[in-house]
Amino acid sequence: MASFDIVSKVDPQTLENAVNTAIKELATRYDLRDTKGGIELNKKENTILLSSENSMRIKALEDILLGRVVKQGIDGTSLDFTAEEQPSGQLIKKTIKVRAGVDKEYGRKIIKAIKDAKVKVEAQMQDDQVRVTSKKIDDLQAAIAVLRKADIGLPLQFVNMKS
């Protein structure tokens, strides 16, 4: 049986480079030069903390970060900007999660997209990835093509292709 795995992950070194260049850009921007706060990467929790005096500057920090992440070759959908801003003293803080792994909701979307395309493959969830198996490699490649066209809302990588 031929198979491959569908995963969603971000290279930690590339992410760190993107955050560091965003911090450098923050220091040189005229409109954000004398602001308190900044951008911090938490590698253990896989989050990025934005902090500034008001929500307008938080929005500017988001734009800087997103631009740098995309320039480093990381898909912009791997960052989760849905968290609310939280006041913390004189600063406003916002925590941005870096998506890693395929959770159950996105796994269901992936499996549904494959089944709707009526490709002769079997897909099943395994922890934080989806395993797709078939008798023919051509069917697996058709499933990959279907998923590349589908709008899942998560950056996908296809790994461990075995025949």
Tens of pLDDT, residue by residue, the chain (163 residues): 888 888 888 888 999 999 999 988 888 888 777 778 888 999 898 999 998 888 888 888 889 989 999 999 988 888 888 888 888 888 889 999 988 888 888 888 888 888 888 888 888 888 888 888 888 888 888 888 888 888 888 888 888 878 7
What is the pLDDT at residue 70? 92
What is the pLDDT at residue 16? 92
Helix (H, G, I), strand (E, B) or coil at 53: coil
Separation CA 132–CA 16 (nearest Å): 31
Element at 22 (helix H, strand E):
helix 12-28
Task: Write out 64-128 in H/E/C secondary structure.
Answer: HHHHHHHHCCCCHHHEECCCCCEEECCEEEEEEEECCCCCHHHHHHHHHHHHHCCCCCEEEEECC
Say what the pTM is. 0.79
